[in-house]
Structure 1
Amino acid sequence: MTDTLPDNLTYERGSVTINGQTSTQELTNGITLENDLAPNVPTTVTFRAVVNSIPQNKTISNTASINYDATVGGEIRQQNIDATSEAITSNVVNASLNVTKTDNAASTLAIGDTFNYTISVSNSGEVPLNNVTVSDNLPSQLEVTQISVDGAPIDTLLTNNIPLGDMNANETKTVVISVKAASGGLNNFQNTAIASSQVNIEGRTEPAEISISGSDNNAITIPTNPTPIIPTPTPNLLNLASINSIASKNISYVGDAISYATTVSNVGNVPLGTYDVPVTVFTELSPSVSFIPGSLSINNVPVNCVNPSQINLGILQPGDVRIITYSVRVNNACPNIVYNIQKLLYGYDPLYIGTSTFSVNGNIVMTYIN
């Protein structure tokens, strides 16, 4: 059996089942049915595909074909018979979110200073979105004092899964997170928020999930010493990188999708990465999840990737920021904690005398599976 997908679909590797049993075969290689087909006994082959773009007519049509031999009394009577299914047409809806994030803080804060993060979430698609939430993981140096949605305070200070409810097309909601600089030791922190939602699509038994990230352009520093800062000469060479990850959900379930956003920043004053050792993010995912093909983006630009275990970011100039987003699907609940572990590796050769290799460990992001 063969099925050549249209350009608007990307096959999800490892998703083939035959009569309800998981198969090691992949659609891209063609599916071989190991047993002969008896008369009037159907064999069902299923697989998953991800919509990677919206066609102009907002429909996707697909057919499958088979090639087989016919036998009578154990003898082959006809060989290489081809048959093609009727075309199945699916409607594609334009369901999308847009996130922008700003703050009113200075770049350098003293302990006790207060400021606001403002997150604007817009339904930029053409259909209503359900159960829209915003997740914004903040470091321990920042204490949340209040969260409001469209000007109304809510009764929680937790910044994961802030509920925005349902949103109609072209509707915008604003989240304001008020924070206080609680302790020092924060260096050039750039904040990222993830908005997630569900959309009900005609003909689907379960809602589809979408998510998008937005980052604050201001990098915040809280010195360890709360006394006024006396400017000192910047070192000639400052080799510093940071990596921070967040997940769209704290709690999930089998079959659900989880989105991750990782911010990689060059917070020094020299280029990081060399041609032989570029800035590279290594990712270790839980064995109970699988990467969703087509979901990887860098700074909201899609990247064709089948495995996010090693992501090459090239050379980062001082002040460069790369935001990596991707999604995984929860395949089982053993173990019942899904983790995402990342490490940053880069080369450093400011004097062109030989590359030295440095690494930075990222934070561990965990989601519990019900």
Structure 2
Amino acid sequence: MMNFAADMEDAEYRDRMRKIADDYDWPAMQRMRAEMQSLGVEKYSIEFYQRIAKEGLVGLSWPQPYGKGVPFIRAFLFAEELETQGFGGYALTTNQRGGGMLIRSGTDEQIRQHLPQVVNGTWRFCQGLSEPGAGSDLLSLKTRAVREGDEYIVNGSKLWTSNAHISDWTGLLVRTDPEASRHRGLSMLLVDLKSPGIEIQPVWVMGGWRVNAVFYDNVRVPAANLIGEEGKGWDVVTGNLDEERAMSFGGTETRALAVRLIHRLEGMADQLSETDLEKLGHFIMELEADRLLYLRVALAAGRGDDTSGIGPMSKVFGSELAQRFIQWAADVIGDEVLFADADGSEDVLASDMEEQLRAATVLTNIGGTSEVQRNIISNRYFKLPRAY
């Protein structure tokens, strides 16, 4: 029989997260939830990110001296525990993504400058990829960067840039050679978001959080901030996208909601239809399959395997499962989900379900649509030829 349970050594950082969680009583959790709402970023708490940074829990799988160099499974179990305990995990995810990009493609100087600031919680990162006319077709982006001596001059705009308004740096994908092929004319720049010529405007989405439109008007970026080689930015960004698509797009949050829903329904089995009982059982099995798929991607990444084919599987399965579950769960709970807090009551589960009902609508779009992901899976995992 195959055993998926973590051994004591692998569970070290998961157990540390459980001890941290014990420090947060309900009033402390309410304050953190209020902070996340005020920032307008999905599951993002600066205070909590700084807390885990102080505990030395950022960059666990990064090589020393910047990280702990621990196996991916331990970092995975820590991050999973963090999110299933109800804490905001997006700050950890997005900042580690910025640091991971530098570990893979940055210069020694860029790594020395930035990684300590990520690990200690001082600097925050976002990624500037999509544009008004370049979302799923990212290669059609038009933001330009022209080299002038020791600087690049950047002009253009980005859209859907999550947490830009609270970030210090962005990894900005730009076109440096308009005459080259779509893949080879791109470069990645590390841009200080406090630079003159940058304007950040809010864009509010159905989920209730804020993304941003970011405008670049003759922004000067030191040439030393080029990540990787000029014209090979696509090689840099594919690592970012693989890491993003390996995230749990709604799966972890859905598992937590499912457990809370089961507690709500305790002793009410006779009031549920046979169809709903069977449906709940199917969802629990699917959520466990989603977790194992997510774990598979994490372990493959830890071995250094190519995850560009299996990462999208996790993304598609988790995001579509999250949508199906919350729609069913909202029907089971009933009208109180749609009118949560309307009467002044504090039904936290119903309120969280109402938020997830809105938020889940975008899960199959952000990070690349399900249609795009299925094309990637067929091409990179099954090695099927492209149709174009």
Q: Specify the TM-score bucket, using the shorter chain as the normaliser.
A: under 0.3
Higher Rg: 1
Output the TM-score relative to the length of structure 2. Answer: 0.24
- Structure with greater strand share of residues: 1
Output the TM-score relative to the length of structure 1. Answer: 0.25
